[in-house]
Amino acid sequence: LANNQSAFIHKLMLEDAPRIKAYKNAIMNRKDLIKDKCVMDVGAGTGILSILCAQAGARKVIAVEASNLAILAEDIVKENNFQNTIQVQHVKVEDLVLQDNEKVDIIVSEWMGFYLLHEGMLDSVIYARDKFLKPEGYLFPESAYISAAFCRLPSLFDNWSDVHGVSMNNFGSQYRKKMYEEPQIMKVLPEQILTKSENVCWLNIKTITLKELQQFSAEFISVAQDEVSIQGLCIWFNCQFPTKPQSDVVELSTSPFDEDTHWKQTVIVLPETKEMEAGEPIAWNLNISKEENQRKYSLELSLIDSDEIEHPLPCECWRTTCILTKKHLESIELSQV
């Protein structure tokens, strides 16, 4: 391992039970796809996914790792007696050359970063897909989506009025402004989520292009179910794997409502609390776009006048037009029963 930080990060990932379980379940549930097939592991790290594929019966696994972790991965492969099945390639996948232009049946990769896209490793998976994957091949995971909902953040907003008998509201305000400048990685509890979640974007890993990864932007209307204090936007992601027909979907979730992962959640902190009444709408736009450094993204949250954008059908907000439209739609449904 290159340094203490690298060792800590990989230890953290190996201890991430939901992460490992999701990949293991996906791989073992699709032994029918993997048995006697050639698999490529992009960004293999310690090689754990490569070994799981070998355990599932892969004929050959090409474990591609650009960092010096590849040296350790070779030792771990030998430790598990798969040196005749797994070939560790110490190279960037973009520089990888396979003998006789070999193609693979499956690409497995744990490419996800914070809020799914941080670090831009999906670019490398797309490169590998386009160059090495057979047309009828499979990707693990095969799809992913980003979700978001407004939340409260007591650790950032509460208790500044009384710090051992001293009011520190001015400090709290300045601190939150700093937090607003870039997304924060933190654990958000289920009870801190205040609105229904919205699906910001959905990625089909089999077909998505580098151009499509440049930017994602969407507008939404969220409605307060009760009187609430909105203090940030909580963002998370889910990944789905190939499953057998009529079988339950194997999914890796980083939702605050599911088991904790090392990704936690990503939060855009509001500079000040926004108080909302029950039924009040809040319109917003989330823009996720690549920076000049193509491996990094910027996240921008904009609050919009809720009268300036089209409301969904039906809409739960208190606007007269939305209430009447909802009642009209309900009456149509009843008449069709």
CATH code at 175? 2.70.160.11
Q: What is the pLDDT of residue 298?
A: 95
pLDDT the model gives residue 335: 79
Residue 128 lies in a domain: no
The whole-number pLDDT of residue 248 equals: 84
- Is 88 found in the same domain as 170? no
pLDDT in tens, 23-44: 999 999 999 999 999 999 999 9
Q: Are residues 162 and 261 in the same domain?
A: yes
Does residue 148 share a domain with residue 37? no
pLDDT of residue 333: 81
Q: What is the pLDDT of residue 5?
A: 63
Q: What is the pLDDT of residue 1?
A: 56
Catalytic residue among 65, 79, 94, 119: 119
Tell whether 86 and 188 lie within a shared domain. Answer: no
152 and 201 both lie in a single domain: yes
The pLDDT, as a whole number, for residue 158 is 86
Residues 232 and 258 reside in one and the same domain: yes
The pLDDT, as a whole number, for residue 128 is: 98
Domain count, the chain: 3
Q: What pLDDT is attached to residue 337?
A: 65
Please identify which of the residues 110, 198, 251, 316 carries the catalytic annotation.
110
**At 61, which CATH number?**
3.40.50.150
**Is 102 known to be catalytic?**
no
User: Which parts of the chain register pLDDT below 50?
Assistant: none
Residues 222 and 261 in one domain: yes
Range of the domain at 154: 143-306
Residue 245 maps to a domain? yes
289 & 169 share domain:
yes
pLDDT on residue 330: 84
CB neighbourhood size of 272 (10 A): 11
272 is a catalytic site residue: no
Please give the pLDDT value at position 62. Answer: 99
Q: Given this model, what pLDDT does residue 224 score?
A: 92
For residues 8 and 100, membership in a common domain is answered with yes
Same domain for 267 and 166? yes
Residue 187 shares a structural domain with residue 53: no
Q: What's the pLDDT score for residue 295?
A: 83
**Do residue 82 and residue 164 come from a single domain?**
no
